[in-house]
Amino acid sequence: MACQRRYDYSNSPQVAVIKTSGCIGPKGMPRRNTIFMPTPYLALLIGGVLPACLWAITAILQKLSTQHNLGPGPFLMAFGAMVLATGLALSILPRGAGEWSWIGLRYALVSGLAYAIATGLISYALLSFGVPISKLAPVLGCNVLITVLLGVFLLGEGASLNIWKAVGGTVAVILGLALVISA
């Protein structure tokens, strides 16, 4: 019998638990696999650390593609084909099916357009000006400051924001950017 996974937070927002049903352990008892990690840390790992690492790899691969004289248009077509394939795969997974909204799709299309234009501009700068990715990436990383500002003003997320920590983080990011660019 195949094991089936379902996600359960065991009535606690602090610990994410994955229960496995249908699996028999060595003593004939149902086997239960549990991952103990505070949910906020698991969310930061899955939604922050791993994507940041993948985006870093993406930047290096984008630089390598321009070093092999691939222009922004062909890069975006290849990049977009992989995004499309990944989106199709995620849409047919059990937790991905049925999550459709026409308004949400419109936002996704505009988001994709903005991302495509930004990615095309990065490829153009890498190809045309030969800018090192190690100097360009920190500037691109400052998008977090713009995201925080837009989240506060457009999405009303400022109520839970500690303004002093936000200002301190902004200063640290700008100082870090200045250091990396001048290196």
Local confidence pLDDT in tens for the 183 residues of the chain: 445 444 444 444 444 444 444 555 556 655 555 556 777 788 888 888 898 889 989 999 999 999 999 999 999 999 999 999 998 888 887 665 556 788 988 999 999 999 999 999 999 999 999 888 888 888 888 888 898 888 888 888 888 888 888 889 889 989 988 888 887
Asked if residues 49 and 68 have their Cβ atoms less than 8 Å apart, the reply is: no
Asked if residues 173 and 165 have their Cβ atoms less than 8 Å apart, the reply is: no
- In order, the DSSP letters of the chain are ---EEEEE-TT-TTB-EEEEES-B-TTSSBP------BHHHHHHIIIIIHHHHHHHHHHHHHHHHHHTT--HHHHHHHHHHHHHHHHHHHHHSTTTTT---HHHHHHHHHHHHHHHHHHHHHHHHHHHH---HHHHHHHHHTHHHHHHHHHHHHS-GGGG--HHHHHHHHHHHHHHHHHHHH-
Q: The whole model's pTM is what?
A: 0.69
